[in-house]
Structure 1
Amino acid sequence: MASSQFDQVTEQFLHAVHAAGGGLPAVCAACVRVLPVRRAAILLDEHDAGIQPWCASDDSARRVETAQATAGEGPAVSAVHEGLPVLVTDLTAECEDWPGFAEALSGTPISGSLLAVPLRLGDIRIGAVDLYREAIGRPGPGFTSAALHVADLVTASLVLAAGDVTKQWAQPVTSRWIHQAAGLTSAQLGIELVDAYARLRGYAFTHGLSLVEVAHRVVDRRVRIEPE
């Protein structure tokens, strides 16, 4: 992509964020506005909790990202761990690299392809942006170049917000539930937090629930994770 095209994408992205009122949902929506994609989602690495969705442009993307968070694996998780974009050319048939994610996704009506691009600040990987195309198959180099540039713009938006208390974005309620549930489980079982998150995921997987659903039930004292 030529520098003039990069400049054009940057201008369109910033305009779209401003027009949508700013904030993380606006950044997510801007990805859809400036790229030939149907939907988008932004995920952040929350250390012991792993990769968690912070924003999705629609319910379809939100369901896919919930499946990734529940399984603890998927394209975005791999993109963050490897520091490289991960392409799924057909979401209905090519998720065999992540069996837990594929199973969690099995009841979700989703089609098309997905490009997960890591959000990087130097050597630090802070998350990923998932970009959903209607078409299956491998996108052209122009799309990939634009997607990498948009990922840089998303990263810049996150960094700028972190440095300005008036623009900081609150952690999603769903993410707060997960952290609270992990804290309760850690205290109740006397285990490390990272193990508590794993136990919550295991319960979710075994009972056919999302990680958020299990967390909500644990916080509401409707479910207690038992010792192994």
Structure 2
Amino acid sequence: MHDRLHLARVIRRATADCPPVEVPRRLCEALSRGLPVDAVTMSLLTDTPSRQLLCASNEMARVLEEVQFTVMEGPCIEAASTGEPVHATDLPAAAGRWPLFVAALHERCPDVAAVHAFPLWFGDYVLGSVDFACRAPGGMPADAVEQAAEAAEAAALALLPTQRMLLEDDDYPSWEPSDVVRAHWSDTHQAVSVVAARKRTSVATALALMRARAFATGRTLAEVTADILGS
């Protein structure tokens, strides 16, 4: 219990009196330092076409985020849609549950052995999720999982005062990694509108077509987006 409270306290201190644009980066740093994990990624509206990346702690986190963003399945999407934690402690065994996610992640980042995902609750509704990736087989030990759950609650509380800016800002925030954030925040939404207009179809269908193209060519959704906006 002491460790759980300590990590939650660290998160509160790290984000206290912090400019809104700095909050996601500080959260990622605090979670990465405070838990026995190898990558942390956090997003809003995770299980919707309006998904917005908040932070990715390193390259492993970026790949984990890109794969789930592209194939629209995986632990963080399930955590956001169900409101329950998801513990994928044996990724090969999870292939039946998320076949596209497991195959793509194994190809791009085979070092990931386990992923723990927690919903970000904002009052009575889930506004996103946070992922913790581990190289160690089995993922985090039980006590660390409890710490992570408490940390996810503290992270959601830290984000709550900034939610209006997070969801309504017309421009993507200056968060890092800026190229990935830009792709998730605005570029993909612009590309979806372009495809919808060209194909005379709905936004949802346009996004599905882009995801299918990305998966069929072994590319990320961000790369497909760049092609569309550059054409």
TM-score scaled to structure 2, two decimals?
0.83
Query: Relative to total residues, which structure has the larger helix share, 1 or 2?
Result: 2
Please report the RMSD computed on the Cα atoms of aligned residues, expressed in angstroms: 2.6
User: Which 10-residue stretch deviates more, 190-199 or 133-142?
Assistant: 133-142
CA distance in 2, matches of 1:104, 1:44: 22
- What are the equivalent positions in structure 2 for 1:1-228 lying under 5 Å apart? 1=1, 4-17=2-15, 22-45=22-45, 48-49=48-49, 51-91=51-91, 94-109=94-109, 110-137=111-138, 139-162=140-163, 170=173, 172-175=181-184, 176-221=186-231
Counterpart amino acid of 1:189? Answer: K
Counterpart amino acid of 2:7? Answer: V
Instruction: Please report how far the alpha carbon of residue 149 of structure 1 lies from its aligned counterpart in structure 2 after TM superposition.
Output: 1.1
Higher-RCO chain (CA-CA 8 Å, sequence separation at least 6): 2
Instruction: Please report how far the alpha carbon of residue 111 of structure 1 lies from its aligned counterpart in structure 2 after TM superposition.
Output: 2.5
Return closer, same or farther for 1:48/1:145 CA change in 2, 3 Å cut-off: closer
Instruction: Please report how far the alpha carbon of residue 61 of structure 1 lies from its aligned counterpart in structure 2 after TM superposition.
Output: 1.3
Instruction: Please report how far the alpha carbon of residue 210 of structure 1 lies from its aligned counterpart in structure 2 after TM superposition.
Output: 0.6
Q: Identical aligned pairs, as a percentage? A: 28
8 A contact 2:39–2:61 mirrored in 1: yes
Deviations along 1:195-216, one digit per CA (max 9) or x if unpaired, are 1111110111111111110011
8 A contact 1:43–1:53 mirrored in 2: yes
8 A contact 1:52–1:69 mirrored in 2: no
Structure 1 unaligned blocks of 5 or more: 222-228
Instruction: Please report how far the alpha carbon of residue 57 of structure 1 lies from its aligned counterpart in structure 2 after TM superposition.
Output: 0.3
Instruction: Please report how far the alpha carbon of residue 138 of structure 1 lies from its aligned counterpart in structure 2 after TM superposition.
Output: 5.7
Instruction: Please report how far the alpha carbon of residue 188 of structure 1 lies from its aligned counterpart in structure 2 after TM superposition.
Output: 1.4
Instruction: Please report how far the alpha carbon of residue 17 of structure 1 lies from its aligned counterpart in structure 2 after TM superposition.
Output: 4.5
CA distance in 1, matches of 2:221, 2:97: 20
Larger Rg: 1
Instruction: Please report how far the alpha carbon of residue 182 of structure 1 lies from its aligned counterpart in structure 2 after TM superposition.
Output: 0.3
- The equivalent of 2:178 in structure 1 is none
CA distance in 1, matches of 2:60, 2:96: 20
8 A contact 1:42–1:129 mirrored in 2: yes
Instruction: Please report how far the alpha carbon of residue 218 of structure 1 lies from its aligned counterpart in structure 2 after TM superposition.
Output: 0.4
